[in-house]
Amino acid sequence: MLLYCRPGFEKDCAAEITDACAAIGVAGYCDARPGQAFVTFHALPVPARPLIADLRWSRLVFARQLLALGPAVALPAADRATPIAETVVGLAPGFSDVWLEHPDSNDGRALSRLCRALRTPVLKALAERGVATDVTDAPRLHVFLDGSGDARVGLADPRNSAPWPLAIPRLRLPRAAPSRSTLKLDEALQTFLGATERERLLRPGMRAVDLGAAPGGWSWQLARRGLRVTAVDNGPMDPRLMAEGLVEHVRADGFRYRVGRPVDWLVCDMVEQPHRIAALVAGWLRRGDCHGAVCNLKLPMKRRHSAVREALARLEAALPPSARLGCKQLYHDREEVTAAVVPG
Ligand SMILES: C[S@@+](CC[C@H](N)C(=O)[O-])C[C@H]1O[C@@H](n2cnc3c(N)ncnc32)[C@H](O)[C@@H]1O
């Protein structure tokens, strides 16, 4: 398998996929070089059925993308498209799409022009060989240029993989947003909630508490969906956001603040140890003080994978019966991951 991750998190991504495979009885080894922004996992012995069918992309925290790894292709500079097309013929009867990608690392980003330039010749070479690239429900073909001069071929199940090229959701930072952090909550709501869930669970008039809210990027995301927000922080909130009238500012310690009656959402972006944030959110869930929650978990420099696992175990233990827990290192996350409890 080929997994994309944030550069610097290769070891965490490798530890996580190794654990996930061990849990389904598959052993293997990873190639996870620091800074390369991807990891390959090689099962030993090679399993009879594709390993990827037994894994869920949405359940992996550090993997931005999850692909079944196909053959490597040597790319002669004179004609790169022909060897790619010849390699992928026969891998599947057709593909739903073809994405040419590179690692999200400094070296990798230098390949973005080449990836763009190669798309049309690759599509043409595939068409000439009778390979359709618009087949609904077929695997998506990923051609991954890793900078070695070769390409790696990957196949994704569109229902079990990130739906964005390079696994990067392109979100615009709205001018009125009080902080760049706003993109984290925007991405979280798009990642953890489906479109109909966003309509059902984020409606005007609903109520939310935002712990560690200042200057208000997360509150702004909720307010722009019509929610009324209590923003808890000793720091100052953005005056333009406050003037809109949907956000109330409470200067208090987020660890002590309590609500009188339950709110629809608790969101929390306080900079604290992940186990403390998880315990805090778990308390809100257990008391029934919130129905859903989104929290950012700032990671320590070491033992990041195990710190996330411990925090998630605390949240899992407090999950209301019909709710589900998700956690991802989002594209807009840095040394952190985002967890979400989505009500049923
Ligand atoms: C990363 S910033 C939040 C940014 C915010 N989500 C946004 O989008 O603009 C973290 C905030 O947590 C607040 N904070 C840290 N510890 C806190 C605590 N114990 N109680 C309340 N706020 C706290 C800080 O004052 C800071 O404003």
Q: Residue 255: CB within 6 Å of ligand 1?
A: yes
Backbone φ and ψ of 89, nearest 5°: -60, 130
Nearest-atom index, ligand 1, CA of 235: 25
Q: Residue 238: CB within 6 Å of ligand 1?
A: no
Domains of the chain: 2-167 (3.30.70.2810), 182-342 (3.40.50.150)
Tell me if 81 sits within 8 A of 31, measured CB to CB.
no
| Burial tier of 113 (Cβ tally within 10 Å: 0-12, 13-18, 19+) | exposed
Task: Please say if the pLDDT value at position 300 is more than 90.
Answer: no
Q: Residue 41: CB within 6 Å of ligand 1?
A: no
User: What pLDDT was estimated at residue 46?
Assistant: 85
Q: pLDDT of 103-113, one tens digit each?
A: 999 999 999 99
Tokens of 43: 């099962």
Residue in this structure with the two tokens 């070296």, named with its chain if needed: 107
User: What pLDDT was estimated at residue 143?
Assistant: 98
Q: pLDDT of 162-195, one tens digit each?
A: 999 999 999 999 999 999 999 999 999 999 999 9
The proportion of the chain whose per-residue pLDDT surpasses 90, expressed as a percent, equals 95
Tell me if 199 sits within 8 A of 190, measured CB to CB.
no
Mean pLDDT of the chain: 96
Binding-site annotation: residue ranges for S-adenosyl-L-methionine: 181, 214-217, 233, 253, 269
Q: Residue 183: CB within 6 Å of ligand 1?
A: no
User: What pLDDT was estimated at residue 208?
Assistant: 98
Q: pLDDT grade, residue 148 (50/70/90)?
A: confident
Q: How far is the CA of 265 from the centre of ligand 1 (A)?
A: 17
Q: pLDDT of 194-207, one tens digit each?
A: 999 999 999 999 99
Q: Residue 214: CB within 6 Å of ligand 1?
A: yes
Q: pLDDT grade, residue 147 (50/70/90)?
A: confident
Q: How far is the CA of 271 from the centre of ligand 1 (A)?
A: 6
Q: How far is the CA of 237 from the centre of ligand 1 (A)?
A: 10
The span from the CA of 131 to the CA of 160, in Å, is 22
User: What pLDDT was estimated at residue 96?
Assistant: 97
The span from the CA of 316 to the CA of 188, in Å, is 18
Q: pLDDT of 234-284, one tens digit each?
A: 999 999 999 999 999 999 999 999 999 999 999 999 999 999 999 999 999
Is 298 assigned a catalytic role? yes
| Burial tier of 178 (Cβ tally within 10 Å: 0-12, 13-18, 19+) | buried
Nearest-atom index, ligand 1, CA of 179: 9
Length of the chain: 344
Task: Please say if the pLDDT value at position 41 is more than 90.
Answer: yes
Query: DSSP string of 70-93?
Result: EEEEE--TT-SHHHHHHHHBTTBS
Q: Residue 14: CB within 6 Å of ligand 1?
A: no
User: What pLDDT was estimated at residue 38?
Assistant: 98
Candidate of 209, 210, 233 to mutate for ligand 1, largest count of ligand atoms within 8 Å of Cβ: 233
Q: How far is the CA of 210 from the centre of ligand 1 (A)?
A: 9
Residues 6+ apart with CB under 8 A from 118: 80, 81, 84, 100, 143
DSSP letter assigned to residue 187: H
Sheet holding 290-298, edge to edge: 247-250, 228-232, 207-211, 263-268, 290-298, 336-342, 324-328
Sheet holding 28-31, edge to edge: 28-31, 38-43, 2-4, 65-74, 150-156, 140-145, 97-101
